[in-house]
Structure 1
């Protein structure tokens, strides 16, 4: 969608330095942008090369000074660029369009401009808000509540009684509200524990593809406002994930763990059950966390340890074979001294 640079600046909260009437039709990477594109130069290595890009306009930090280019200065250039892309490439809006190939159950209530694709199944007593887009093959079981401005991509399953907030995006293949992994042993067999709770997903959450977010044994598994998950994330029963937390690909969180606000769990991190990861904590990639992590702590490794200590350990590990060799030699020499003493 064509926009003037002034319109983009108003949308992203930045200031134009140069031609405000410049027409922008697209966004592109720094080295690939054309004359009608806007691009990003937030880091010094790109700012030093700003004269090399062919882009019509460049988003830069507020303190950047270069009168030779038309720029859009912003307090947070990366966020401004994201907003500019969304403005230039708007997603198609939902419309009242229920496919004849969809199944809609009894006593379903829908808001305005709801789109339901072919082969979607909507269970009984489901409540769907305004401007919701449900793609082909989605299954929403009975008594689910879906808020406004929600997009559910193909082949997602939302099991019975779960709650989905406003402006939520759920990517293909995800299962919300499957049974938790709970079994009681009697010495010979495992007996399934019924899971009678729900999953609650709050506003402004985005769930990646092929996630599994299990329903609670009792009560709720709770994904709080603003959480973003990557693909292939597993959240077990009764877990709480705090506001604006990031879960990167292949993270696994065991039952009843509590993840704080603004935390980051990097790829393949594993969190044991019934512990708390604090606010603003960072768990490094492939970390195995078996103990609580305090607010603001950065941990790495398996078992987890403070990140700075982990870096020291990693520097030592490659030298262990040589160290073992030297220790063996010292033991032999010490033994000879003792025998001759």
Structure 2
């Protein structure tokens, strides 16, 4: 159970006490709106300024002193309130289920699989097929399927029901949440002889180190070569990534987005929720694709686009203002036509 004095709290997060008694103690943590007198909270987004002003938290971590909580609430100034709060959570929150090495008796592990049963955890009804390799410290959840020849690195978490199909490669410290599917066939068909005929998908998926992929996301194998998810990239739930897509390092892909085949995405790119990207495009480093954008042309490095078809943000907003003014413009034109007699039949 957490029990920290204000002085200990400031030391833990590397912060400066701006207000409050150093000996005051705190035993919990919560959001600004839900926190009570014994709780630690944080202010990391200007959208929650009103919550800060009305918060009943015992202490708030913040960076900017321009907005403060009510009198009686202690304040600790930190460089990054979100990360400071996360430091406390990681130290004192209820821990995840402990890592227990060993192979569950109801798991099916082929005799040719390379793993150390004293350093790997394999849950009930998990299946690991021939020739797979599992790194030390990795946890395979209940009902997961690891296909033939799959290679998984160290300290990974493959959650319940996740599937990694044959031949795919997963780096170190990768997290795959429940029901992720890695390496299903790409959506490749050729219309011939009056029907859609399946085109063989011979490539793999390669996931680099420190990637996290949310529940029910699917990453298709390449037709040839590799579909790649770059180091440190974080992918939300229910995302579809097509065959031969290459996503760079440290990208963010938010829920229900879809990336069509052979598109290449640079490093540090952000796809907000429900973005759709057509195939065979280039998305430059640092680009931002706003929510529900439909991208059908290349996007330059650092560019922010929005809408369908996606356009640079300023252009989209300007066009939106023009559209809003069309009704008034039509009325003016009609009035001018009537005044000049041009509108008479």
Give the TM interval when normalised to the shorter protein.
0.7 to 0.9
Query: Quick one: structure 1 residues 11 and 92, their matched pair in 2 at CA, closer, same or farther if it must change by over 3 Å?
Result: farther
Cα separation, 1, equivalents of 2:305 and 2:53: 41
Is 1:175–1:212's contact at 8 Å kept on the other side of the alignment? yes
Is 1:58–1:70's contact at 8 Å kept on the other side of the alignment? yes
Query: Quick one: structure 1 residues 239 and 184, their matched pair in 2 at CA, closer, same or farther if it must change by over 3 Å?
Result: same
Give the CA deviation at 1:186: 2.4
Cα separation, 1, equivalents of 2:329 and 2:67: 54
1:246-325 to structure 2, matched below 5 A, reads 246-321=252-327, 323-324=329-330
Q: 1:79 aligns with which of 64, 83, 99?
A: 83
Query: Quick one: structure 1 residues 64 and 304, their matched pair in 2 at CA, closer, same or farther if it must change by over 3 Å?
Result: closer
Query: Quick one: structure 1 residues 131 and 10, their matched pair in 2 at CA, closer, same or farther if it must change by over 3 Å?
Result: farther
1:162-173 to structure 2, matched below 5 A, reads 162-173=168-179
Is 1:95–1:131's contact at 8 Å kept on the other side of the alignment? no
Q: Deviations over 1:222-261 (max 9, x none)?
A: 1011111111101111111111111111111111111111
| Structure 2 unaligned residues grouped into runs of 5+ | none
Is 1:27–1:88's contact at 8 Å kept on the other side of the alignment? no
| Structure 1 unaligned residues grouped into runs of 5+ | none
Is 2:57–2:73's contact at 8 Å kept on the other side of the alignment? no
- Report the counterpart of residue 29 of structure 2 in structure 1: 27
Q: Deviations over 1:171-205 (max 9, x none)?
A: 11110000001122225222222111111111111
Secondary structure of the 1:30 match is: coil
Is 2:338–2:344's contact at 8 Å kept on the other side of the alignment? no
- Report the counterpart of residue 105 of structure 2 in structure 1: 100
User: Does 2:224 match 1:204?
Assistant: no
Cα separation, 2, equivalents of 1:284 and 1:51: 30
Query: Quick one: structure 1 residues 106 and 85, their matched pair in 2 at CA, closer, same or farther if it must change by over 3 Å?
Result: same
Cα separation, 2, equivalents of 1:230 and 1:157: 17
Query: Quick one: structure 1 residues 50 and 337, their matched pair in 2 at CA, closer, same or farther if it must change by over 3 Å?
Result: closer
The CA RMSD measured in Å over matched residues stands at: 3.0
Is 1:60–1:77's contact at 8 Å kept on the other side of the alignment? yes
Query: Quick one: structure 1 residues 3 and 309, their matched pair in 2 at CA, closer, same or farther if it must change by over 3 Å?
Result: same
Secondary structure of the 1:109 match is: coil
- Report the counterpart of residue 39 of structure 1 in structure 2: 41
Query: Quick one: structure 1 residues 152 and 39, their matched pair in 2 at CA, closer, same or farther if it must change by over 3 Å?
Result: same
Q: 1:110 aligns with which of 107, 110, 115?
A: 115
Secondary structure of the 1:82 match is: helix
Give the CA deviation at 1:68: 6.2
- Report the counterpart of residue 4 of structure 1 in structure 2: 4
Query: Quick one: structure 1 residues 23 and 140, their matched pair in 2 at CA, closer, same or farther if it must change by over 3 Å?
Result: farther
User: Does 2:251 match 1:245?
Assistant: yes
